[in-house]
Amino acid sequence: MKQKGAVSVELALGLPILIMVIMGGVRFGLVLKTRHQLGDATNYAIRAAAIKGNTNPNQIRAAIQDRLGSASGCTNLSVTTTTATDPLGVRRVEVNAHCNVDTGVGGALLSFLGNDEVSVRAAMPY
């Protein structure tokens, strides 16, 4: 029995699946990297704000954006800040940061893998 071309057919059927798995892994890694960078930048900004006693949302957002830099892959950054005082009288500032992740990998083809938005929440007494 001759099987000429069987390898070519198997490759043609299996290669798209393999490429999708590899691209999905790369995309997942880039989303995780961006989430880590956003978390680091948010923690840094809230720590600096707490030390200075500054709860201005615009300045906290600017500090997060400066820490992220331009090559972070985080677009449409939105930052909300709230201040609260607990029953013991300790004041704290809470920051919620959200951004869309621009991975540049997969686009709409891999959109089924998950949301392109990452969010981080941090709180610090001041």
Q: Which residues is 99 bridged to in the sheet?
A: 118
- Which of 29-43, 49-63, 103-117 comes out lowest in average pLDDT? 103-117
**Are 114 and 29 within 8 A, CB to CB?**
no
* Among 81, 85, 19, residue whose Cα is nearest residue 54: 81
* pLDDT tens-digit series, residues 12-27: 999 999 988 888 888 8
pTM above 0.95, yes or no: no
* pLDDT tens-digit series, residues 90-111: 999 999 999 998 877 666 666 6
Strands in 45-116 per DSSP E: 74-85, 91-101
